[in-house]
Each structure stands twice: as structure tokens, then as C-alpha cells.
């Protein structure tokens, strides 16, 4: 099955709103049974509609659900018979078309149908409302941006329409028409599918701008779903759909669909070796040592043993491979756990338990309440009325609202395994893609209880992998996409190979060192060539063949490369890996980041990126489940000017002052007030409203009935919280029927007749219910944002408005979500008149939603304010403090969420991402050019305003998913990035997982900064993998993010210590360890170069070959480990208390090119002192008997002095001394003094090395040896100590001051300033609330009344078996 051609437009009678975005769609058939939406007529003389992007209409336009009802009525003939046309094919058969004939006259024949299609046009636009998550600009829009067409009359769309006319005129010929129909509709007696008169065809069109002829490729004929025969539809590369046989594994086997196994691991058996070697040899040090090890194998070239480089390199690679395998095995284990999860798959007429990995495309599965969906499914039926079900998609798009999905009416009655097993047919679906919000498909029934039908599928029937079934006992569904073809996995990317900034800098310095090494080798070889040719007569004892000068020169270069090769430390890479691994273990073992409630420790899933944690400049965070707990709780309320709270602090308890109540009552006192107080009537009315004015559905399942608790199905978590809150007070809503609800109050059931529901939408910002109470009175109950409720109150009779406003301000300062509660009594006559108007508005054919809103406005007036509610969208513990502290550390935080804009902004205030004095830049544009103009305008205003009194440093950018699509276009992305980076905070709302990754990649590509992404859901995986460092929140229901991340923590607040403490430590430790590793090797091996000058560049080494190897492997390997694992330039408490210290990592203070070359020059300086001064001391090394020590005694003394110097240097740069530091630094020198006599005795006996034979007496008994190893290190360190003193005393850095505070335990006087800041914070917050009031009510728009009218909770739900 080939991918859908990206440069081709398709004519389609089944387009819908999705086709309008993805294709240029031509409707040639009108079919009331298929949801075809026609709009924007372009080719007028042929009555053909070409889809093109339309401006979005507000939510009060006609809703889709009601438009579909009108369409169904048209199909039943209530608006007259549609035009029918019977045509005869060449083979004698005929078919009946519901299509509109060509020509204006025929098109105008049925005005009723025209009205219907205008309604559907409105419905189509309604579905494209801005509150819906954006799918991105359409293909046409993107082409519009790319085409440089100045003439308005010569647009790509116009050229396409002309080409359409030409193509269609050709197709009007009888032969072409018959050939097309035969290819689409196979005769019923020919073994194909018998399609009814409402079938529609898809005709491919030539792409805009294409010079080729008309594409004549057509959809192939259908076949049965049995195992025999070929595919039901064409499977060529040009097809843009695929076929799924329902419950027929044999039929689907021919298509070789993907299995359902999912892997997030970095390696597998086949890719480990190439990927690992590529990653390791991208480190230039390993490439250099491989080169050196190879040339050492050439005989007559190496002055040292041929194995002294290649063996250590193999050890380094083996150790690194073991670490990589251990880390990747953890990922494989996590993947295996997910793939072993069990699902129920239908075989025959019974369901069997199968692992997720064994689920195949076409299988019918049963999913039960609170279970995750194993693949992308099309729902067939459910335990709920009319095949409805509820899913939680916070793991996909970050939205907390439950989504309502609904099966087709034809399949919704299949309530037993036998029913679904009898379903015969196949699905024709779109190809796998990454769009979470679109789906195109058709269910083709081939007999059975449904008959021969072709039923359209849309996103309403599709359930995506990663979602969780909620408030629904069970569903039956057929699998359409599996494994890496699911929409969730298509939004994910392969685990990338990440290289840290420190590694990149190290690689660059290694290149420079290699160039220096080459220069030294060429210089030495040239010196050898010159001196040899000049003194050839005196070197007769050497074999110097004539005519081989060039060959000898090249061999000498290789010899000196080997001699100086350890200028680049071979142990550096393995030391880095081991140090990083130990730093990761310290993160894993940190009890401060252990979450006791979920028994979840912090986990470093990879140790390769620990130092990146100390250099992060941008954090990209999800909202739902990352910053919030996704739990709504009814916390407080204000009723008649009196505050009530679930928990009241001792200092806030209610008391009466001057006849007025001051403070808060708790909920237990509230219950007492309802039973017996002068305010009981008002309190009763308030909670009666909460228990009745909603669209919640109660449910008592098996689990809940045992405990006596009721579970509430609610598309809005806010509504569920309010109903639960009313239940805790004693107003228990427990029964819903299509026309009434029952509430238990004080042991008595009260039944309310639900007359009307005025639904919530983003324009109204409120909902209301008209109820007939048990006493026969009719009441309007309304709840919504304070801004819309207060202006609809009656002028008199509301004495508590100002008090309630003060309470709302107090709730808002605590970050609570608030709603105002109001009601009014309605007379029977008034209701009778209003009901008639409402009925008329609900059946109008034009602007229905506008009319419904207008009618609701007529009754939602002159209300009485009862009070307000405060719901806590519970933040994770410590989130505000963490965000505030990270901001102090210079880290910019961007929130990328799929949730609604208002909710995201309120959470931004609650968690201190947005401060009260911030100015919000809100971008909600609908076109490319509007977005570009908006961003440019705001950016110019900021640039022009600099230097004025306006504070442009307190800016926050809010942008929705639709605008973000345009902002990520190539000609706009730099504007967006520049504006966003000027802001202190950025919130991108209603964004898809792919958009999250694109935003991260944009900043990563354009800014030289380290990025961290953190999230908890599968929708965050692509963002996490795109960033330099990915952190997953574990301990929640969805662990996909934690499995794919580099680090996993249980709560967001642990990010504070992970970055400010462990990150800062890791960066500082690793920087110091790398610099010291280069220093110690340069110091030793430059002395080789100085020695070469004195031995006529003969290539003779001053040190014994194995001693050179042991220098790096044994005698100087422990100090870097001690520094890299245990050193602390500041302790954890100081780093947390002074987050500004983190900025040193962002500014690369400890590791940069300047620091590297400073250490390198210092090493050169030390090598000069050690070699030349040491040579001067040992110039006359004659002993008491007149003998001299010789070459190897001289070499050992210089070697020991070098070793002592680098160990003293390690001691000088160490900030924290532990027992391991003592073992590493003084212990290394002790190890050398023990090793030397043992090696000098043992090695000659085994003929391993004879150089040290008999030299011990001449070393330890020589006073010049002891004098040299004491004097030379002291002279070297004199400059280093003086420089350190001057830098601390006269060029003080911020961390030097904090070190002094830490050392002398100086008191911190900042708490007094913190209290002052809190007072200012509260004043500014109140000013903001008075200036602009918002709302934070999260509710699905439209369709809720139809859902509740379908429920009767007194009827037993089907068991599904």
C-alpha cells in the first residue's frame, strides 16, 4: 500500500470537514445517507462545489449533530424526494444516482435540497470552530503561501477550477462515463459488492501546477471479505486508502499490516553494533586512538609496545558498550511489559485473552472500564445508550475533559459476542497518519443483520491508542491501526542519538590538540632529518640507507605521533563514562527525590546526559499531569455573602463582628446551617442548583455499589466536582431519566423534571437548566463566569454582590477556579411563551445556534445571585515554588498543552509561571498573513518601547494551535521565535504532539541553548525526544513518557533538585575532571618533546613504555574519579537557596575554550619547569663511587616529579575532601612508590621489561631524587596558588561569596524581603482581577442535552455477554 500522493488533489463526494483541509474536494453526488458537506461554489455553470478554506465562524452557528438530524430527515423524505437520475451502462445494467445533474436548470430543481445543503455548509463551518484543536493549515493554504503569484485574478485555485472544467467536459462523453462507472461499481452478480443508489465515487484530479495529463487511475472494484480471492480494493502505490476485513485474520494477512508490538528502545540486535560504533567514533578521541593503534602495528615504526594503545581502547569500548546495553535493556523491559498487557480478542463467538503484541488489524476486541486501548479502534457498540462511550485523552492531547464517542446506529445494537461475530464486511480507511483529530473511512457491510450497506465513519467512532476508557462498562471495537502505525506512535519519533554540549566542546579541543600533536611530530621528524643529514659522517654505526629520505621522514612522523599520542588522554572517555554512570547512581539514590506515596524513586535512564542538566536554559513542559494532578476538588463556596470551606485554618474561623460574619465556616457547620438556621432556605436553593443544573450521569457499577458510592460520568471535570461537592453536603444526585432527575436530600428522594437545557459554549460562558421542582414551581438555575452572570442579575434584591466579589478575588488569589451561581423563578405563562420560542429556534434551518443563544438570553435575565463556588484544579505539590525558583535560575519555561486557552492561562497564574504584573500577548489568528502581521506588530512595539518607562521585561506570549501552525512556517518562524524569547513565559495551547516537537526543534535549531522537555503522557514523547534532555513524570497512569525519557521523576517539584543541585554538580565535576585529564597528560608528554630536542630527535623515549601506559591507567586515574564523583563547589542547600548559581552552567563558565587553553598553557608551563629545572638538578648525577645513574634513573626521577606535581594540582582544585579523595590523591603517589620497586624486580625476571633492572638503589639512595620531587612541584604550584588567591580576593565571582557564606554559616536575611514580595504579589493580583476578570470553566461545547436525553439509569445496562 503506497503513501497518499502529496501533490495530488482528489475529487470526493465523501469529503467532510477533513477533506476540506487535506484535499481540494469536488462533490459530484448528493447523498443524504453520507455526510457530504458542500460549500463555496466555484464552477457555477456546472453546479460543482470546490472546497476551499473558509473563515471560522463562532460557536453559535448551527451544530453538526443537529445538522445531521436534518440531513436524516431529508433522507426520510420529509423535505421532498431528491433528484434521481437513472443511466444505462454499456453492459446493459443501470444504476440510480442521487447526484445533481450537470447544468443550472437541474441544479435549481429542488430548492428544499439546497436549503439542506446550506445548513450542512453551516454545520461544516461550525465544526471548524476555533476552540477545536487545529489540524494545521490546509494543503491549499500552504500552497498559497509558497506560490509567488501577485495577480489576484491568476491564482492556483482559479487555474485548478479551469482545469477541472476541462477534465469534466471530457468525462461527459458516454464512453468515459461508462468506463468510470464500471471501474467503481462491479455488477452484483459478478462476485463484487452490491452497492445501493446512494453510493459515491472518488475521482482523482490532476494536481495544481502539474503539466501532466488527467490522472486516469480509478478505485478498483470490491470483493468479498472471505479469505479467498484478491484484495477487496486496489492496493497499488497510488491508493489513498486501505481495506480491513472485520474479524478475518486470513483476509488481512495478504496486506501484511504492522504488528502491534511497540519499541521505544535505542538499539536492537541488528542495529546495536553499527549505532554504537557510529556513536563512539563520533568522538574524535576514539578515532585518534584507533589510528594510533593501527600504525603501532607497523614494524619498525613504534618506539613503544604495539599493544599499549589498542588494548586500552578495546577496554574503553567494551566498558561503554556494557553501560549502553544495561541502559537499553531497561527500555526493552519497559516495552515488554506494555506489549505483554492483556486484551480480549474475539475468536468465533467467544473472547479470549491475548497479549497486546498479538492483537492484529481487523480483530474485534472488548475493552472494559478504566482499561487502556490496545490499538486504534473503531467502536461498534457499548454498554451505554445508543453506543456512546467516554474516553480520557489526557495522555494524548492533554485535555482533562472526557470525550464522548458514539458507535454507528446500525452497529450500536450488537450487544453480545454472537452479535458482533455475525458482522460481515470490511472497513475502507485512510492510510496511517499522524493527525489525532481526523479520520476518514467507510464500513462496508456484506449481509448479516445490517444488510448490504456502506456506512460512513468519522472521528466520532474512532478511539486512539493511548486513551483510557472511562465511565463505560465495556465496548466492542474493531482494530484499524496497530503498533507503530497507530496515530499515537506516528506522532512519536525514533529514539535519537544525543551528544552533549560538553562532549562537542571536548571534541573540538581534541581536534586542536591533534593538530598540535601533528605539528610536534612533523617538527621532530624534520629535526631528525636535518640533524641526521648534517651529522651523517659521525653516525656510521647506524644503518642509514641512501635514497630513502622521504620514506624515513614519513616513518619518523608516525613514530613521533605514537610517542606523543597520549597528549590526548586515552582514559578520558572511559573515565567520563564511569563518572557519568556514578553521577546517575547518585540521582537514583537521592531520597529527596523519592516519592513515598507512589513508591517511585528518581531514575536516570541514561547517564550520558547528566552534565546537560546543569546547563538548561529552556524548559518545555506539558500541563495536565505534569503541573497539575488532573483532579478537581470542590474546596470552598460563598453563599449569601458567607464563606464556607472544607478545611478552615484556626486564624480564619468564622466569628461575628458588629453583627456581620467574618471568616469561614467549615462544611460540617454548613450542614448544620442547612438543617436549622435563618439562612437554610438560601443554602438549600444553592445546593439544589448544584445537584440539578448539570449534564452529569450517575452510575452505580459493581465496584461502586459495594461501597455505596456513586460514580459520576461527566464530560467536564468541573461539573463532576460540583456534583460530588453537593453530594458531600447531603444533596445526592443518583438517578437520571430522559425527562427527569432524582436527588436524595436528607433521606428523601426529590424528582425534578428537566424541561430545557441551555448548553455551555465559549461565547456564552455559562449554562442553565429550566426545571420543574417537586412542588410544581418552575425555576431557572444558571452557573457561569462572573463577568456574564453579574450583568444578568436584577437591579434590586441582590445585597450580596460586593461581598461575593471580594470572596471571588480571594479565591482567585489562591488559584481556585470560580463560578457564579444564580437563579430565578419563572411563571407558567412566561415559560409557555418562552418554550414555544425555544422549540421554534431548535427547529430553524438557518443560524440555529445563534437563535438558541438569543432565546436563552431572553430567559437568563433578572436573576438572583446565590453565591459562588471555588474548585481546585489541584496542582502537584511544590509546583509554584519550583517554577519560581527555576525562573530565578535564569531558566525560561514554555508550557505546551492541548488544553483550552482559558484553562491554561489560569493554571499559568496559579503555578506562578505568569506573574500578576505581566502583560499578556494573546495570538488567536486564523490565517498565515494575519499571524505574521500580528507577530511583527508586537515585536516592533517591543523594540520601539525599549528605553521608555514601560516594563517590557514582564511579557507572556499566549498562542493557540491554529496560529502556531502559521507561526512555524518558514517565513514566520523567526518572528515567532524572536518574540517568544523576549517573553518571560510562553504558553502554547490546543497544540498537537507533533506541534510540541516542532516548537522544540525550532528553538533547538535556532538558539545555542540546552533545552529540556518534561511531560507525563504519550503525547509528550516526541517533544521529550526532540529536546537535548527529556524528563518523564512517572508514577502516573501513563508511563509512556517516562519510558521514552532520559530521566524519570515522580513529581514536577523534583525537577528543582535535579537541575539546580545534581545538574550543577554534574556539570562542574565533569568540567573539572576533563580539564584535569588533559592537564595531566599534556604535562607528562610535552616533557617527551623537550627530551627529543636533546637526543637529536631520535624517537627515543625518556620513560619506560609500560610506565607511560600505567601513568594514565593506574597512577593518575583515581583523582579524576574522585573529582568527578564527589567534589562539590557548593553544597546542596546553598545551590537550592541561591538558584542564581545555576547561571554559571548556562554561561559555560567552568568549561569553554578559554578554560581549556588556560589549563593547556599551564600544563606547558609546568612541563618546562619539570623538565629543564629537573635536568639542571640531575645534570651531574654522579654518585659517591663515581658512577652515574644513567638514562632510566633520570627518567624515573622526572616521571616521579611530574606525578607529584599533577597530584598536588588535583589537591589544589578539590573543594570537598572525603575519604575517597584521600585515597585517590595521596594514595596514588603511595601506589607509585610501592609499584616501582616491585616492578623493577619482577619485570626483568619475566622479560616483560628490563629497563628498570637494578635501578632502585640508585634512585631511593640518591638525595637529588628526594630534593627534585619536593622542590619541582612546589615551584610549579607557586604560580597556581598565587593565581587562585588573586582571583578569590580581587576578582571575586558570585560563587566565591556563597562559599564564604557556606563556610562561616553566615545568616541569610532574605526571608524579610520574601515577606515583602508576598505582600506586593497579593496587591498586584487583586489589581489584575479587578482589571480583567476571566473564567475557568472547562466544558465540552454542544451535544450534551442529546446525550442526557438518551440515558435512563433505572434500566439495567447490558453486560455484553
Helices (H), 566-666: 572-588
Order of strands across the sheet that contains 985-989 = 603-604, 1047-1049, 1029-1033, 1010-1015, 616-621, 892-896, 985-989, 955-960, 919-923
Measured distance CA(1069)–CA(657) in Å, rounded: 61
- Determine the 3-state secondary structure of 1226 from DSSP: helix
Could you please report the per-residue DSSP string of 981-1022?
HHSSEEEEES--HHHHHHHHHHHHHHS-SEEEEEESSGGGHH
Measured distance CA(520)–CA(1300) in Å, rounded: 44
For the record, the C-alpha cell of 180 comes out as: 468510470
Cα-flanking dihedrals φ and ψ of residue 900, to 5°? -70, 155
Count CB-CB contacts under 10 A for residue 311.
Answer: 14
Order of strands across the sheet that contains 451-457 = 241-245, 425-430, 441-447, 451-457
- Determine the 3-state secondary structure of 596 from DSSP: coil
- Determine the 3-state secondary structure of 825 from DSSP: strand
Measured distance CA(1276)–CA(1203) in Å, rounded: 12
Residue 1326: exposed, middle, or buried by beta-carbon count in 10 A (0-12, 13-18, 19+)? middle
Residues composing the chain? 1361
For the record, the C-alpha cell of 1044 comes out as: 521514552
658 is catalytic: no
* CA angle, residues 447, 449, 453, in degrees to nearest 5: 50
What's the half-sphere exposure (Cβ side, CA atoms, 13 Å) at 361? 26
Order of strands across the sheet that contains 350-355 = 350-355, 342-347, 364-368, 474-481, 376-382, 462-463
Measured distance CA(1018)–CA(271) in Å, rounded: 25
Q: Which residue has the cell 529514539?
A: 495
Q: Which residue has the cell 516495552?
A: 335
* C-beta pairs of 503-508 under 8 Å, 24+ apart in sequence: 503/283, 505/1148, 505/1151, 505/1152, 505/1153, 505/1156, 506/283, 506/285, 506/572, 506/1074, 507/282, 507/283, 507/284, 507/285, 508/1153
Measured distance CA(688)–CA(743) in Å, rounded: 8
CB 685 within 8 A of CB 822: no
- Going by C-alpha positions, the residue among 491, 559, 561, 324 that lies closest to residue 1098 is 559
CB 79 within 8 A of CB 116: yes
Measured distance CA(1112)–CA(1097) in Å, rounded: 24
* 1247 contact partners, CB below 8 Å, separation of at least 6: none
- Determine the 3-state secondary structure of 9 from DSSP: coil
Helices (H), 484-500: 487-490
Measured distance CA(666)–CA(675) in Å, rounded: 15
* Rounded-to-10 torsion of CA 912, 914, 915, 921: 180
Q: Among the options 31, 46, 622, 786, which is catalytic?
A: 622
Measured distance CA(1215)–CA(1001) in Å, rounded: 38
Q: What residues act catalytically?
A: 622
Amino acid at each position: 500500500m503506497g503513501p497518499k500522493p502529496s501533490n495530488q488533489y482528489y475529487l470526493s463526494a465523501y469529503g467532510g470537514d477533513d477533506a476540506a483541509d487535506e484535499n481540494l474536494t469536488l462533490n459530484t453526488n448528493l447523498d443524504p445517507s453520507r455526510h457530504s458537506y458542500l460549500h463555496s461554489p466555484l464552477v457555477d455553470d456546472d453546479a460543482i462545489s470546490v472546497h476551499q478554506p473558509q473563515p471560522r465562524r463562532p460557536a453559535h452557528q448551527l451544530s453538526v449533530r443537529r445538522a445531521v438530524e436534518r440531513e436524516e430527515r431529508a433522507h426520510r423524505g420529509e423535505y421532498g424526494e431528491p433528484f434521481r437520475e437513472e443511466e444505462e451502462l454499456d453492459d446493459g445494467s443501470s444504476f440510480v444516482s442521487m447526484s445533481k445533474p450537470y447544468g443550472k436548470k437541474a441544479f435549481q430543481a429542488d430548492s428544499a435540497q439546497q436549503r439542506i445543503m446550506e445548513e450542512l455548509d453551516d454545520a461544516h463551518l461550525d465544526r471548524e470552530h476555533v476552540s477545536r484543536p487545529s489540524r494545521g493549515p490546509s494543503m491549499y493554504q500552504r500552497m498559497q503561501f509558497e506560490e509567488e503569484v501577485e495577480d489576484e485574478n491568476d491564482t492556483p485555485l482559479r487555474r485548478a477550477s479551469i482545469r477541472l472544467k476541462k477534465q469534466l467536459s471530457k468525462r461527459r462523453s458516454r464512453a468515459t462515463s461508462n468506463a468510470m462507472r464500471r471501474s467503481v461499481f462491479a455488477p452484483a452478480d459478478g462476485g463484487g459488492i452490491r452497492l445501493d443508489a446512494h453510493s459515491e465515487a472518488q475521482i482523482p484530479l490532476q494536481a495544481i501546477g502539474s503539466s501532466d495529463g488527467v490522472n486516469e487511475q480509478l478505485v478498483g472494484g470490491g470483493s468479498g471479505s472471505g479469505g479467498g480471492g484478491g484484495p477487496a480494493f486496489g492496493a497499488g502505490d497510488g491508493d489513498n486508502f486501505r481495506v480491513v476485513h472485520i474479524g478475518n485474520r486470513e483476509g488481512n494477512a495478504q496486506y501484511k499490516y504492522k504488528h502491534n508490538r511497540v519499541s521505544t528502545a535505542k538499539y536492537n540486535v541488528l542495529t546495536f553494533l553499527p549505532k554504537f560504533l557510529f556513536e563512539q567514533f563520533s568522538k574524535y578521541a576514539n578515532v585518534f586512538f584507533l589510528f594510533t593503534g593501527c600504525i603501532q602495528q607497523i614494524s619498525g615504526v613504534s618506539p613503544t609496545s604495539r599493544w599499549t594503545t589498542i588494548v586500552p581502547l578495546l577496554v574503553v569500548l567494551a566498558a561503554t558498550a556494557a553501560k549502553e546495553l544495561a541502559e537499553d535493556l531497561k527500555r526493552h523491559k519497559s516495552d515488554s511489559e506494555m506489549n505483554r498487557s492483556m486484551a480480549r480478542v474475539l475468536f468465533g463467538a467467544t473472547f479470549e485473552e491475548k497479549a497486546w503484541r498479538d492483537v492484529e488489524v481487523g480483530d474485534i476486541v472488548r475493552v472494559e472500564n478504566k482499561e487502556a486501548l490496545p490499538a486504534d479502534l473503531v467502536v461498534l457498540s457499548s454498554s451505554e445508550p445508543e453506543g456512546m462511550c467516554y474516553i480520557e485523552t489526557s495522555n494524548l492531547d492533554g485535555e482533562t475533559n472526557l470525550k464522548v464517542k458514539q458507535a454507528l446506529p446500525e452497529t450500536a445494537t450488537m450487544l453480545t459476542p454472537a452479535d458482533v461475530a455475525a458482522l460481515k464486511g470490511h472497513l475502507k480507511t485512510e492510510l496511517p497518519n499522524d493527525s489525532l483529530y481526523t479520520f476518514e473511512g467507510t464500513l462496508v457491510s456484506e449481509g448479516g443483520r445490517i444488510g448490504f450497506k456502506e456506512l460512513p465513519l468519522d472521528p466520532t467512532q474512532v478511539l486512539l491508542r493511548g486513551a483510557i476508557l472511562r465511565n463505560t462498562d465495556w465496548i466492542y471495537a474493531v482494530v484499524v491501526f496497530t503498533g507503530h502505525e497507530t496515530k499515537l506512535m506516528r506522532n512519536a519519533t525514533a529514539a535519537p542519538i544525543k551528544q552533549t554540549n560538553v562532549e562537542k566542546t571536548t571534541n573540538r579541543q581534541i581536534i586542536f590538540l591533534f593538530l598540535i600533536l601533528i605539528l610536534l611530530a612533523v617538527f621532530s621528524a624534520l629535526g631528525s632529518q636535518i640533524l641526521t643529514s648534517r651529522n651523517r659522517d659521525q653516525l656510521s654505526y647506524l644503518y642509514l640507507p641512501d635514497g630513502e629520505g622521504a620514506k624515513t621522514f614519513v616513518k619518523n612522523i608516525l613514530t613521533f605521533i605514537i610517542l606523543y599520542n597520549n597528549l590526548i588522554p586515552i582514559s578520558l572517555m572511559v573515565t567520563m563514562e564511569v563518572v557519568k554512570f556514578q553521577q546517575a547512581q547518585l540521582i537514583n539514590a537521592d531520597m529527596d527525590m523519592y516519592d513515598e506515596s507512589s513508591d517511585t524513586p528518581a531514575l536516570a535512564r541514561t547517564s550520558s546526559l547528566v552534565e546537560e542538566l546543569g546547563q538548561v536554559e529552556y524548559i518545555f513542559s506539558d500541563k495536565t499531569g505534569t503541573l497539575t494532578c488532573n483532579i478537581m476538588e470542590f474546596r470552598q463556596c460563598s453563599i449569601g455573602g458567607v464563606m464556607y470551606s472544607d478545611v478552615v485554618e484556626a486564624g480564619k474561623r468564622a466569628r461575628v463582628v458588629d453583627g456581620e460574619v467574618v471568616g469561614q465556616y467549615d462544611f460540617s457547620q454548613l450542614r448544620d446551617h442547612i438543617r436549622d438556621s435563618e439562612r437554610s432556605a438560601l443554602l438549600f436553593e444553592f445546593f439544589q442548583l448544584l445537584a440539578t443544573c448539570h449534564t452529569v450521569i450517575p452510575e452505580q457499577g459493581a465496584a461502586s455499589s459495594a461501597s455505596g458510592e456513586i460514580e459520576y460520568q461527566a464530560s467536564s471535570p468541573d461539573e463532576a466536582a460540583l456534583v460530588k461537592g453537593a453530594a458531600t453536603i447531603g444533596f445526592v444526585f443518583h438517578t437520571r431519566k430522559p425527562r427527569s432527575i432524582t436527588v436524595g436530600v436528607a433521606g428523601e428522594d426529590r424528582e425534578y423534571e428537566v424541561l430545557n437545557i441551555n448548553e455551555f459554549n465559549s461565547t456564552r460562558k455559562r449554562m442553565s437548566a429550566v426545571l420543574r421542582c417537586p412542588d410544581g414551581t418552575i425555576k431557572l438555575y444558571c452557573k457561569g463566569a462572573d463577568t456574564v452572570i453579574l450583568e444578568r442579575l436584577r437591579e434590586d434584591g441582590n445585597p450580596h454582590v460586593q461581598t461575593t466579589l471580594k470572596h471571588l478575588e480571594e479565591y482567585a488569589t489562591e488559584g481556585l477556579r470560580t463560578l457564579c451561581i444564580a437563579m430565578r423563578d419563572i411563571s407558567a405563562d412566561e415559560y409557555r411563551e418562552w418554550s414555544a420560542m425555544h422549540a421554534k429556534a431548535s427547529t430553524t434551518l438557518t443560524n440555529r445556534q445563534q437563535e438558541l443563544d438569543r432565546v436563552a438570553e431572553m430567559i437568563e435575565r433578572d436573576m438572583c445571585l446565590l453565591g459562588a463556588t471555588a474548585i481546585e484544579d489541584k496542582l502537584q505539590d511544590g509546583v509554584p515554588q519550583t517554577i519560581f525558583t527555576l525562573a530565578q535560575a535564569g531558566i525560561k519555561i514554555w508550557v505546551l498543552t492541548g488544553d483550552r486557552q482559558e484553562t491554561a492561562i489560569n493554571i499559568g497564574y496559579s503555578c506562578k509561571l505568569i506573574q500578576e504584573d505581566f502583560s499578556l500577548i494573546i495570538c488567536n489568528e486564523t490565517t498565515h498573513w494575519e499571524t505574521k502581521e500580528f507577530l511583527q506588530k508586537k515585536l516592533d512595539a517591543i523594540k520601539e518601547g525599549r528605553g521608555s518607562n514601560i516594563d517590557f521585561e514582564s511579557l507572556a506570549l499566549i498562542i493557540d494551535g491554529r496560529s502556531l501552525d502559521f507561526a512555524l512556517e518558514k517565513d514566520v518562524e523567526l518572528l515567532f521565535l524572536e518574540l517568544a524569547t523576549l517573553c518571560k513565559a510562553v504558553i502554547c495551547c490546543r497544540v498537537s504532539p507533533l506541534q510540541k516537537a516542532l516548537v522544540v526543534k525550532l528553538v533547538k535549531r535556532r538558539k545555542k541553548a540546552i533545552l529540556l522537555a518534561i511531560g507525563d503522557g504519550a503525547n509528550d514523547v516526541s517533544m521529550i525526544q526532540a529536546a537535548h534532555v527529556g524528563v518523564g513524570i512517572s508514577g502516573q497512569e501513563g508511563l509512556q513518557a517516562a519510558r521514552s525519557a532520559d530521566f524519570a521523576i515522580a513529581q514536577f517539584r523534583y525537577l528543582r533538585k535535579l537541575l539546580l543541585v545534581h545538574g550543577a554538580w554534574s556539570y562542574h565535576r565533569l568540567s573539572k575532571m576533563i580539564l584535569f585529564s588533559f592537564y595531566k597528560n599534556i604535562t607528562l608528554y610535552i616533557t617527551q618533546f623537550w627530551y627529543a630536542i636533546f637526543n637529536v630527535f631520535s624517537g627515543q623515549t625518556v620513560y619506560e613504555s609500560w610506565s607511560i601506559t600505567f601513568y594514565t591507567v593506574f597512577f593518575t586515574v583515581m583523582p579524576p574519579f574522585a573529582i568527578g564523583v564527589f567534589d562539590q563547589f557548593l553544597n546542596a542547600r546553598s545551590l537550592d537557596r541561591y538558584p542564581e548559581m545555576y547561571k554559571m552552567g548556562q554561561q559555560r563558565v567552568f568549561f569553554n575554550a578559554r578554560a581549556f587553553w588556560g589549563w593547556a598553557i599551564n600544563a606547558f608551563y609546568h612541563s618546562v619547569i619539570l623538565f629543564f629545572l629537573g635536568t639542571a638538578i640531575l645534570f651531574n648525577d654522579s654518585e659517591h663511587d663515581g658512577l652515574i645513574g644513567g638514562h632510566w634513573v633520570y627518567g624515573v626521577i622526572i616521571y616521579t616529579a611530574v606525578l607529584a606535581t599533577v597530584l598536588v594540582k588535583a589537591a589544589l582544585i578539590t573543594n570537598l575532601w572525603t575519604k575517597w579523595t584521600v585515597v585517590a590523591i595521596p594514595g596514588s603517589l603511595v601506589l607509585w612508590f610501592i609499584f616501582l620497586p616491585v616492578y623493577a624486580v619482577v619485570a626483568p625476571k619475566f622479560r616483560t621489561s628490563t629497563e628498570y633492572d637494578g635501578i632502585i638503589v640508585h634512585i631511593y639512595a640518591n638525595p637529588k631524587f628526594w630534593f627534585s620531587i619536593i622542590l619541582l612541584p612546589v615551584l610549579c604550584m607557586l604560580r597556581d596558588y598565587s593565581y587562585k588567591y588573586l582571583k578569590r580576593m580581587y576578582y571575586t565571582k558570585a560563587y566565591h561569596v556563597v562559599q564564604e557564606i557556606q563556610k562561616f554559616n553566615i545568616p541569610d536575611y532574605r526571608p524579610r524581603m520574601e515577606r515583602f514580595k508576598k505582600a506586593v504579589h497579593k496587591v498586584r493580583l487583586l489589581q489584575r482581577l479587578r482589571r480583567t476578570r476571566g473564567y475557568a470553566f472547562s466544558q465540552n461545547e454542544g451535544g450534551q442535552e442529546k446525550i442526557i436525553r438518551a440515558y435512563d439509569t433505572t434500566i439495567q445496562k447490558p453486560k455484553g455477554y
